[in-house]
Amino acid sequence: NYSGVYDEEFFEELEEILILSDIGYESTNEIIEKTREIITRENITDKIQVKNAIKLVVKEILKKEDDKHRDIATPAVILIVGVNGVGKTTTIAKLANLYKGMGLNVMLAAGDTFRAAAVEQLEIWAERVGVPIVKNAQGADPSSVIFDALQAAKSRKTDILICDTAGRLHNKDNLMKELSKMNKIINNSSDHFNVYRYLVLDATSGTNALNQTATFNEVTQLDGIILTKLDGSAKGGIIIPIKNQYHIPVEYVGVGEGVEDLQEFIPEDFAEILFE
């Protein structure tokens, strides 16, 4: 019931492309059905027009009205959360560099007191970017580091305080409780600070990123997502079902290991690259 040249084989190929981009089975089906509709409705036969139809469908999903990119209002505190090794600490360095470049006073909080040399890692970044850092020794209570950093940022009239946290798998209840405690401490500072919580997701991950989003959102009420490692060959298609279900905006994408390797997320570009 769709027109002419686009037979089952064509849609099977499309299915393969979408699934190989980690879009997931459900969203893949949704995209295919919507594309079929457009092809039928507009009687499309031209290959380029078909491609455009698919991209349009994807862009629609990525560009929901209710999740517009939000500008940060200062003074702000940003809490960075996510599972192990996705790129949280590196992303903090990139954000600090970005905001500093805008002429803002930035401060970092070394809220990962668990992982070996996590504090030193952030310290090196702070030094390279040229921003102050509040820290404690490995093994210290992360909530108290956050608390101290909030006090310091307040008294020093910092514009943006960015808090690192230890990587944690969302299915570890004790670690999620610890995160919830940090989140509360940050919430308590909302008379002074505008509070933002960003989830860092690795573009290489599969559908597990959906579970990550669900649980971190429950615990920390996410304001945005940062999608890292897009410089790899993975397309980060998982962001499509995530947007579809949770309507959390993707604020930035990470495209490398240096401080400059951070870009704004542009749905149009993302959709283009997906079907390159």
Partner 1 sequence: MVFEGLSSKLQDTFKKLKGKGKLTEKDIKEATREIKLALLEADVNFKVVKSFVKNINERALGADVLKSLTPGQQVIKIVNDELTSLMGGQPVKLTYSPKGMTVLMLVGLQGAGKTTTAGKLAAYIKKESKKVLLAACDVYRPAAIKQLQVIGKQVDAEVFADTEEKNPVVIAEKALKYAKEHFYDVVIFDTAGRLHIDEALMDELVQIKKSVTPDHIILNIDSMTGQEAVNVAETFNEKISLSGVILTKLDGDTRGGAALSVASVTGKPILFAGMGEKLTDLEIFYPDRMASRILGM
Ligand X SMILES: Nc1nc2c(ncn2[C@@H]2O[C@H](COP(=O)(O)OP(=O)(O)OP(=O)(O)O)[C@@H](O)[C@H]2O)c(=O)[nH]1
- Footprint of partner 1 on this chain (CB under 8 A)? 16, 19-22, 24-25, 83-87, 114-118, 120-121, 123-125, 128, 138, 169-172, 202, 204-209, 211, 229, 231-234, 238, 257
Which of ligand X, partner 1, K ion, none lies near 206, with the C-beta cut-off 5 to 8 A by kind?
partner 1
Q: Is 89 in the site for Mg ion (CB under 5 A)?
A: yes
Q: Min. distance of Cβ 63 from partner 1 in angstroms? A: 23
Say whether residue 117 binds ligand X (CB under 6 A).
no
- The binder of 90, among Mg ion, ligand X, K ion, none, by C-beta within 5 to 8 A per type, is ligand X
Using the minimum distance from each CB to K ion, give the nearer residue, 213 or 228.
228
Neighbours of 184 (CB within 10 A): 12
Considering only residues 19, 124, 234, 266, which one is a binding residue for K ion as defined by CB under 5 A?
A: 234
What torsion do the CA atoms of 120, 127, 79, 94 make, to the nearest 10 degrees? Answer: -110
Q: Nearest Cα to 226, choosing from 94, 56, 47, 52?
A: 94
133 makes contact with ligand X (CB under 6 A):
no
- d(CA 41, CA 52) in angstroms, rounded, equals 14
Neighbouring C-beta atoms of residue 172, cutoff 10 Å: 13
Tell me the β-bridge partners of 263.
253
Q: Tell whether residue 82 is a contact of ligand X (CB under 6 A).
A: yes
Cβ atoms within 10 Å of 104's Cβ, excluding its own? 17
